[in-house]
Structure 1
């Protein structure tokens, strides 16, 4: 997650503000120290304009064909 955000040139504080969470919480999520709810993950992906699976690494049944 952090690599995607940094590749887009978006600062942690700016992204946290845009998705409505505390920067410290976002930092812990990005560093794997804390989990995030689906709503937070979807807002994160939407703000970075990436598919949700790019940040969750989840595969759908279609991806496994």
Structure 2
């Protein structure tokens, strides 16, 4: 796996684990959502400065984005579609 693919794989893994949409993460990192999508697909040659913004928004060390996935790992799945349930509603 090349570096761009590993970065995209890890980015999606951490984004989905935090329950963030691409749009929400892009907003928090201050980058374009379409650009974030291209990073996740491994088709963008992203700068370290941009990776620092994304890592900060995900609250992870930037180095974790460079780690190779375990051999045989399945690609991280998408978030569930639809709106999240509101937790602050009075019952």
TM-score normalized with structure 1 length:
0.80
Hey, what's the Cα distance between the residues in 1 that align with 2:31 and 2:39? Answer: 11
After TM superposition, which residue ranges in structure 1, 4 or more long, deviate above 4 angstroms? none
Which structure's CA Rg is the greater one? 2
Q: 2:30 aligns with which of 9, 13, 20?
A: 20
- Greater helix percent: which structure? 1
Hey, what's the Cα distance between the residues in 1 that align with 2:18 and 2:39? Answer: 18
Per the TM alignment, residue 57 of structure 1 is displaced from its structure 2 partner at its CA by 2.4
Q: 1:32 aligns with which of 39, 42, 67?
A: 42
Runs of at least 5 residues in structure 2 that lack an aligned partner in the other structure? 1-10, 69-91
Q: Residue 88 of structure 2 corresponds to which residue in structure 1?
A: none
Tell me whether 1:11 sits opposite 2:30 in the alignment. Answer: no
Alpha-carbon RMSD across the aligned residues, in angstroms, is 1.4
Q: How many residues align?
A: 58
Per the TM alignment, residue 56 of structure 1 is displaced from its structure 2 partner at its CA by 1.9
Are the equivalent residues in 1 in contact too, given 2:23–2:33 (CA < 8 A)?
Answer: yes
